[in-house]
Amino acid sequence: MPEIRLTAEEMRYIALFQDITMATAKDCIIDNNNNRIIFLVKEGQAGLAIGRGGSNVKRLNRLLGKDIEIVEYSEDFETLVKNIFAPARVRNIKLIKTSDGRKRLRVTVEPRDKGLAIGRGGRNIAKARLILKRYYDIDEVVID
């Protein structure tokens, strides 16, 4: 895992998140463009973080006034990508290095899951871009 430096605001959000959910947050990404906070939680703790019927997510949403999204972290690159796009079913993941040194990720999903993978207004693509830029320096994410 790369060295991630958290701001004081992100640390406050993580402390509140952990108090409410009892799950371990590995990271917190504030996405002001989409009025949301994305928490990356320890492997196996997504269900605990979400809570029964989404109760923890709803409570955090009310307290913080932002949408809350939870992604289960994984050291394994492919598993992390699949977790970012869940519940869309990912068929294939291909990392391409362009001639100018940039990294592009092509994610192929089940055809009927394409809209789900992209998200309303491209929200899920934006989420993937934020997380994958932070952890793997990937510049572009494309859904096939």
Judge if 8-72 and 87-143 fold alike in CATH terms. yes
Q: Which residues contact 138 (CB under 8 A, 6 or more apart)?
A: 95, 103, 104, 105, 129, 132
Q: Answer yes or no: are the C-beta atoms of 32 and 10 closer than 8 Å.
A: no
pTM of the prediction? 0.93
Query: Poorest-confidence range of 1-5, 52-56, 95-99?
Result: 1-5
The domain defined by 87-143 folds into GMP Synthetase; Chain A, domain 3 (3.30.300)
The pLDDT of residue 4: 80
Instruction: Classify 8-72 by CATH class.
Output: alpha beta
Sheet with 103-109: list strands edge to edge: 90-97, 103-109, 140-143
- What 3-state DSSP class applies to 96? strand
Nearest-angstrom CA–CA distance, 65 and 90: 31
> What is the mean pLDDT of the segment spanning 61-67?
97
| Domain extent listing, the chain | 8-72, 87-143
